[in-house]
């Protein structure tokens, strides 16, 4: 019986102390925003639009004004170090999967304000938002 009480108490304490860990995990990743919010954020002066797709994908079109840093490039970590950490970054890829990883990498590298487009460029196009071919 004592073992059961101890185990219950231990699990309860683990749950209490585990919650901040999960909250910290969320703080370490990019915040996901809707197409509508992302679109509004792109017009802000201190915000940098960052397309993390490959050059081949970018050739198919991109959101106007985006800076390109290929997440799949082996130099991605070095390339983001060249960016101003005081700015707000708006990231997107094709569907959002790479963006989640890139956003987490940027947060780990010391970037404080990183947002990602929910659903990536695919969702952007589905909402009939404009793209350009540079």
What pLDDT score was predicted for residue 83?
97
Q: Is the pLDDT of residue 16 over 70?
A: no
Please state the domain count of the chain: 1
Domain contains 69: yes
Domain contains 18: no
Count CB neighbours of 66 within 10 A: 22
Q: How far is CA 110 from the centre of its chain?
A: 13
3-class SS at 118? Answer: coil
Domain contains 11: no
Q: pLDDT higher for 2 or 17?
A: 2
Categorize the per-residue pLDDT at 22 as very low, low, confident or very high, splitting at 50, 70 and 90.
Answer: very low
CATH of the domain at 109: 3.40.250.10
Count CB neighbours of 106 within 10 A: 26
Q: Is the pLDDT of residue 133 over 80?
A: no
Q: pLDDT higher for 29 or 118?
A: 118
Domain range holding 97?
29-126
Q: What are the tens digits of pLDDT across the range 47-99?
A: 999 999 999 999 999 999 999 999 999 999 999 999 999 999 999 999 999 99
Q: Is the pLDDT of residue 10 over 90?
A: no
Domain contains 13: no
Categorize the per-residue pLDDT at 29 as very low, low, confident or very high, splitting at 50, 70 and 90.
Answer: confident
Domain contains 71: yes
């Amino acid at each position: 019986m004592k073992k059961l009480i101890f185990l219950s108490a231990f699990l309860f304490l683990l749950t209490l102390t585990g919650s901040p860990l999960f909250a910290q995990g969320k703080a370490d990743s990019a915040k996901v925003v809707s197409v509508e919010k992302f679109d509004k954020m792109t017009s802000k002066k201190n915000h940098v639009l960052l397309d993390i797709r490959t050059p081949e994908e970018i050739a198919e079109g991109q959101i106007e004004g985006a800076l390109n840093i290929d997440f799949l490039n082996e130099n991605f970590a070095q390339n983001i170090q060249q960016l101003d950490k005081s700015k707000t970054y708006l990231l997107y890829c094709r569907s959002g999967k790479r963006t989640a990883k890139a956003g987490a990498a940027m947060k780990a590298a010391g970037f404080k304000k990183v947002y990602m487009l929910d659903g990536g460029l695919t969702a952007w196009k589905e909402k009939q938002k404009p793209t350009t071919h540079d």
